[in-house]
Structure 1
Amino acid sequence: MELLKRQDVPAEHKWDLDSVYPTTQAWEEDYARVEAMVPQLTAYQGRLGESAGVLLEALRKRDELFQLLERVAVFAHMKEDEDTTNSTYQALSTRGQSLYARVTAAGSFMTPEILAIPSETIRAWLDQNPDLAAYRHELEDLLREKEHVRSPEVEELLAQMSEVGGAPRDIFGKLNHADMKFPRIKDEEGKEVELTHGRYLRFLESPVREVRKAAFDALYGTYAKFRNTLAATYSNSVKKDVVYARARRYPSARAAALSSTNVPESVYDNLIEAVHRNLPSLHRYVQLRGKLLKLDELHMYDLYTPMVAEVDKKIPYAEAVETILKALEPLGEEYCEVARKGLTTDRWVDIYENVGKRSGAYSFGAYTTKPFILMNYQETLDSMFTLAHELGHSMHSYFTRRHQPYHYGNYTIFVAEVASTFNEALLTDYLLKQTDDPKLKMYLINHQLESFRTTLYRQTMFAEFEHITHQRSEKGEALTADLLDEIYYGLNKQYYGTEGMVIDEAIALEWARIPHFYSAFYVYQYATGISAAVALSRQVLTEGKPAVDRYLTFLKSGSSDYSTNLLARAGVDMTSPEPVQQALDVFASLLDEMERLAG
């Protein structure tokens, strides 16, 4: 079927960006308003310590400015995503990004100035001024980090070094995406096709084993040619993390990274320990995968091809919406009614692919807009799950923005994946209860098992690799290519086991191609997120209203407290190993059911 041009897409299939700006002229007017408001904020520079009233005025002016800026920048970004070939919206997007950078730089004086005010003075102001008290958590969070803020001279030097500190990531990006070229391989039809980053996973999912192996060998054969350069690049990224942590007087690079969201290091350790205890389940999964694929031994390139044939089931968008809403009924009338309107009459969703439209899917928006969803819906089960996932993000944004002021109107990465994965869990539970078809059941269970393998187990392995490499660097060890290979290969051997599984030597180089390793101690949050989501979804399904009320309160809380506190009030204590263990127990029970169905 031929793709429609953007102008030919029916309005009911498009998100309602006219509700943000009905015309480009309206956007231009707000763009100009933002520029005019910047001097109103910078007028407070050097004055924040004068009084509680002045500090409150400055914070309110900042919020007013950034609310409008966010609306301007988000609209421009989303208009470009509708049709990336449209030069008008390309220009708007570039201008929006530039404006955001300029305004952010102009407002950067606020944090150091606030931290220059004595802590006891700020706390006295908070107690004396009820309006300023609305910013208590934000200000207390700033004060929490005060001991790690250095003198103005050191801070200025660290700021100047930030561009240099980003060099390893930039070098990796240029080498990985621009300079590294992969060879051609033969596809399923015997045609020669160039291997690319985008095609690699598709080849690994191929039902033809020779194609999977060829892609795997070609990819890692190419990385092997650059392994020493990549090792030096990653090593310097780790050194940068260590130097910055020491400059700010943190005990370690990991402590510095987790401190930004006030997550105890025990959360990280508990995650790794719980996964280690449950590696036998992953080993069972690997053996089952080999059995279902009818392979005597499984290789690393066999881990992504579906072990259950895709169910040939067309799901039109309207049917997907109804199915998702039925699955979400345990969350109550309010949640489902908002979701129904968002997916239909309120036009949150840009549904189908069109010429020039950005690929993939996301949830996006500003504090003052609808929580929009970009889709490229394909009438498949996978597309329905993607829609449920993105709806979870949008509902989190919707409830947060309805119940929190602007300065708490967002949420951290630590909790971002909870609401989306929660929706997927409820959808899987609903679909499994609605069918007696063993093929569909196996497909659904396979979908969830793979989510666990790639998100909980795999991301934890990544997290463990990061922890080991930073510890080695902090002890003064050189992170050579040989050492990185040794660490990474050993982790793969530990995680996947060796019974019926070949840990191919080439997998030792996988560390060299993971972009997230240049944003240290980030990936563990994917694993904690799925753990929290599974635990909360089980509570909702078993406890009913009390658990639903706790969960909806969590969705409405934004960033008004630390993430671990918000999750604890929802019913999940992420500072204990219990939620991770509960998620791993679900993985084991799904595995039991899959083994039973496989016979």
Structure 2
Amino acid sequence: MSFFHEFKKMTFMNDHDDISRWDLKPLYNDERAWDQNYDIMLKQGFNAVLRFRGELAKDPKNLEASLDAFFDFNQMLEKLYTYAHLLSDGNIADQQNLMRLNQAKSLYSDFDANTSWMRSEILKMQNLEAKGKYARYLERILASRPHTLNEEEEKILSLCSVTHRSDSLFSILNNVELKFDDAVDSKGVKYPLTLASFQNLVKSSDRTLRQSSFHNLFSSFEKVKLTLTENYYQKVLENDFNRKVRRFDSSMEAALFGNEIPVSVYQTLLDTVEKGENLKQLHRYVDWKGKILGLKNVHPYDMYAEPYEEIEVKYTLEEAIELVLESIRPLGEEYVAIAEKGLKNERWVDWFERPGKRSGAYSSGYYKSYPYILMNFTGSIRDLFTLAHELGHSMHSYYSNKNQPYPYASYTIFVAEVASTFHEELLYNLLMKKIQDPKIKKYFLHYKAEAIRATIHRQTLFANFEKQAHSCVENKGVLTADYICGIFNDLYRKYYGDSFVIDPLLGVEALRIPHFYSSFYVYQYAIGMSASLALHANLLKDPVEGKKRYLEFISSGSSKKPVDILKDANVDVRDPLTIQKALDAFKQLVDQLDT
């Protein structure tokens, strides 16, 4: 389906061509160059920083010089790691790639261990003022004083980080070793089932195919649920250990502290989404979904179903790129030109799924590299919006790297999800302007409602689960498979209402969410979408001021606290109304659909 005229075809449509994959040569010319650089860094060691040990308080110039050396080496490490992880994600099964990734991680760990004394020395400096080019960095260190240990203890903790492998184990199991039986439709036709193809198969109007896709995927996770439970339990125990030694009241507080997010922001999200009237609208949506699908009861796999499947919406890669570029025009010609160059000429993106490649999508890079994007493009509307989403991350990185010095260029995860979902909102707004056919418009109304459900309701449900799982361990409880699956089932009952069926395999979903290995991460999706809806409303209200505020926002990096950066953009995430307005938008969509 296309909403625009034909244009010159691009060349990178073959998923076997190198041109359809990201260009890593700006990082290193090849693996040999990486190996040589790694050997050099290993031999050099950390002497450039270590020579200042015990000297920081003796001369004010020593502090700045030591931080210069620290950030110079850290930037070289970041380059080393970025290449290794991108190379590995291109083929997870390649043992040489995995070895390089582990080497980079190990060197990072050694660097942390050998520079852990810096924080301790800085905290010992009497009457130290946070000023100069490292003022913001020093301000954050001084704020961490209540949670910082002595020098030797900090070194031990840094050395311990190399043993934190639960996320790697999950990644290998999830992306490489787990295999899924083919999904089968009502006519007996088989479809290869992968983590990527599941996203499309489960949307089919053929309920047998939906059920088969869900059952076969979740059954594979069910077979290893004890392993996955123990692995996740170890992650939660790791977090509990960290919060105890760092003197935090909870793992949540410890996780949010690094991004300077008050716990109240997390709790406000849960409280607002879980208000009776707001959950009632989600129950209405489930009931509508069942009604339009002709179902008395709605199973988990029915929630994915596309009720307007007769309206085929598929995109070539060229179409997807042009739509995304057109959608961001309100942000200015320069903004569009940068994005177009990255997507078409500079090869920021690894586009297609292939055996061994990491599933999903993300944006990644370092201060002086392209802001790379991993995709597994199949032409679906989901892929179209995923491209917009990841480009939002990459443009955020581009502008922050361009406008901030290295120590403040890396924005926090908290604000990252604002830029990405803002891009999605721009794309949706463009599509709704182009569409004239009422049936197609209804299709996109449903898509938008699903996007809010998946991003605000679903991620808040996940956030509630994480809170409960960690609270259990903090109160001396033990995480078992039955307990974990039970929490998930109870939350689904609460969120989705009486007409939603809790299938026996549903609880296993708690064990297959990769983001649970980045603890207390997912709530930021819900906050991010709420903030992006507010930013988009500001852009529509005043295009000139809205554009100016947005570009300032994505240029700010971590130069201020994230909640303050958003406040400067005229969005207050501490105010429940920011969340409520997003939920009101969901209600309006349900009203339009259920007519």
Q: TM-score, normalised by structure 2?
A: 0.85
**1:422, 1:536 within 8 Å by CA — same for their partners in 2?**
yes
1:466 equivalent in alignment to 2:474: no
Please give the alpha-carbon distance, in whole angstroms, between the structure 2 residues aligned to 1:355 and 1:319. Answer: 25
SS at match of 2:591: helix
Please point out which of 70, 73, 77 is paired with 1:69. Answer: 77
The answer to which of 181-190 and 262-271 deviates more is 181-190
After TM superposition, give the deviation of residue 399 of structure 1 in Å: 0.6
**1:49, 1:55 within 8 Å by CA — same for their partners in 2?**
yes
Equivalent residue, structure 2, for 1:54: 62
1:401-435 CA deviation, whole Å, 9 max, x = no partner? 11001111211111112111111101101110111
Equivalent residue, structure 2, for 1:342: 342
SS at match of 1:135: helix
SS at match of 1:298: coil
1:122–1:367 Cα change, 3 Å: farther
After TM superposition, give the deviation of residue 551 of structure 1 in Å: 1.1
1:136-160 CA deviation, whole Å, 9 max, x = no partner? 1111112211211223454455456
**1:325, 1:336 within 8 Å by CA — same for their partners in 2?**
yes
Equivalent residue, structure 2, for 1:522: 521
Equivalent residue, structure 2, for 1:130: none
Equivalent residue, structure 2, for 1:109: 114
1:145-204 CA deviation, whole Å, 9 max, x = no partner? 12112234544554565566x466677667777887766764454257787656655553
**1:69, 1:100 within 8 Å by CA — same for their partners in 2?**
no
**Which residue identity lines up with residue 288 of structure 1 in the other structure?**
W
1:234-290 CA deviation, whole Å, 9 max, x = no partner? 455434433331222111222112112111011111101111121111111111111
Equivalent residue, structure 1, for 2:417: 417
**2:328, 2:426 within 8 Å by CA — same for their partners in 1?**
yes
**2:57, 2:125 within 8 Å by CA — same for their partners in 1?**
no
1:406 equivalent in alignment to 2:406: yes
After TM superposition, give the deviation of residue 400 of structure 1 in Å: 0.4
Written as runs of structure 1 = structure 2, the 5 A alignment for 1:422-441 is: 422-441=422-441
The answer to which of 329-338 and 424-433 deviates more is 329-338
Please give the alpha-carbon distance, in whole angstroms, between the structure 2 residues aligned to 1:159 and 1:84. Answer: 26
1:421–1:177 Cα change, 3 Å: closer
Stretches of structure 1 lacking an aligned partner (at least 5 in a row): 128-132
**2:361, 2:375 within 8 Å by CA — same for their partners in 1?**
yes
Equivalent residue, structure 2, for 1:134: 133
Written as runs of structure 1 = structure 2, the 5 A alignment for 1:128-527 is: 133-159=132-158, 162=161, 166=164, 186-190=184-188, 200-217=198-215, 234-235=232-233, 237-277=235-275, 278-309=278-309, 311-313=311-313, 315-350=315-350, 360-375=360-375, 377-498=377-498, 500-527=499-526
SS at match of 2:239: helix
1:574 equivalent in alignment to 2:582: no
After TM superposition, give the deviation of residue 75 of structure 1 in Å: 3.8
After TM superposition, give the deviation of residue 495 of structure 1 in Å: 0.0
1:554-573 CA deviation, whole Å, 9 max, x = no partner? 10011112211111111211
**1:41, 1:107 within 8 Å by CA — same for their partners in 2?**
no
Please give the alpha-carbon distance, in whole angstroms, between the structure 2 residues aligned to 1:502 and 1:83. Answer: 38
The answer to which of 69-78 and 253-262 deviates more is 69-78
Please give the alpha-carbon distance, in whole angstroms, between the structure 2 residues aligned to 1:355 and 1:418. Answer: 32
Please give the alpha-carbon distance, in whole angstroms, between the structure 1 residues aligned to 2:320 and 2:387. Answer: 8
1:226–1:556 Cα change, 3 Å: closer
Please give the alpha-carbon distance, in whole angstroms, between the structure 1 residues aligned to 2:230 and 2:85. Answer: 35
1:582–1:117 Cα change, 3 Å: same
Equivalent residue, structure 1, for 2:552: 553
Please give the alpha-carbon distance, in whole angstroms, between the structure 2 residues aligned to 1:34 and 1:304. Answer: 49
1:107-157 CA deviation, whole Å, 9 max, x = no partner? 533343232334664634x44xxxxx1111111112211211223454455
The answer to which of 374-383 and 543-552 deviates more is 374-383
1:364–1:438 Cα change, 3 Å: same
**1:310, 1:443 within 8 Å by CA — same for their partners in 2?**
no
1:320–1:489 Cα change, 3 Å: closer
**2:78, 2:366 within 8 Å by CA — same for their partners in 1?**
yes
**2:196, 2:360 within 8 Å by CA — same for their partners in 1?**
no
Count of aligned residue pairs for this structure pair: 582
Please give the alpha-carbon distance, in whole angstroms, between the structure 1 residues aligned to 2:173 and 2:588. Answer: 43
**1:3, 1:354 within 8 Å by CA — same for their partners in 2?**
no
After TM superposition, give the deviation of residue 464 of structure 1 in Å: 0.9
After TM superposition, give the deviation of residue 225 of structure 1 in Å: 6.2
Written as runs of structure 1 = structure 2, the 5 A alignment for 1:120-131 is: 121=126, 123-124=128-129, 126-127=130-131
After TM superposition, give the deviation of residue 552 of structure 1 in Å: 0.8
1:47-106 CA deviation, whole Å, 9 max, x = no partner? 334332112112112222233333344345545666779x8xx74774365145325513
SS at match of 1:289: helix
SS at match of 1:281: helix
Equivalent residue, structure 1, for 2:588: 589
Equivalent residue, structure 1, for 2:8: none
**2:84, 2:101 within 8 Å by CA — same for their partners in 1?**
yes
After TM superposition, give the deviation of residue 461 of structure 1 in Å: 0.7
1:455–1:495 Cα change, 3 Å: same
Stretches of structure 2 lacking an aligned partner (at least 5 in a row): 1-10
Give the root-mean-square deviation of aligned CA atoms. Answer: 3.6
- Share of identical aligned residues, percent? 37
1:340–1:215 Cα change, 3 Å: closer
1:35–1:507 Cα change, 3 Å: closer
**1:3, 1:353 within 8 Å by CA — same for their partners in 2?**
no
1:519–1:396 Cα change, 3 Å: closer
Q: TM-score, normalised by structure 1?
A: 0.85
Please give the alpha-carbon distance, in whole angstroms, between the structure 1 residues aligned to 2:147 and 2:282. Answer: 40
**Which residue identity lines up with residue 291 of structure 1 in the other structure?**
K
SS at match of 2:373: strand
**Which residue identity lines up with residue 308 of structure 1 in the other structure?**
Y
**1:275, 1:457 within 8 Å by CA — same for their partners in 2?**
yes
**1:489, 1:505 within 8 Å by CA — same for their partners in 2?**
no
1:250–1:352 Cα change, 3 Å: closer
Please give the alpha-carbon distance, in whole angstroms, between the structure 2 residues aligned to 1:332 and 1:184. Answer: 46
Please give the alpha-carbon distance, in whole angstroms, between the structure 1 residues aligned to 2:41 and 2:241. Answer: 37
**Which residue identity lines up with residue 554 of structure 1 in the other structure?**
F
Please give the alpha-carbon distance, in whole angstroms, between the structure 1 residues aligned to 2:156 and 2:162. Answer: 11
Please give the alpha-carbon distance, in whole angstroms, between the structure 1 residues aligned to 2:107 and 2:526. Answer: 35
After TM superposition, give the deviation of residue 223 of structure 1 in Å: 5.7
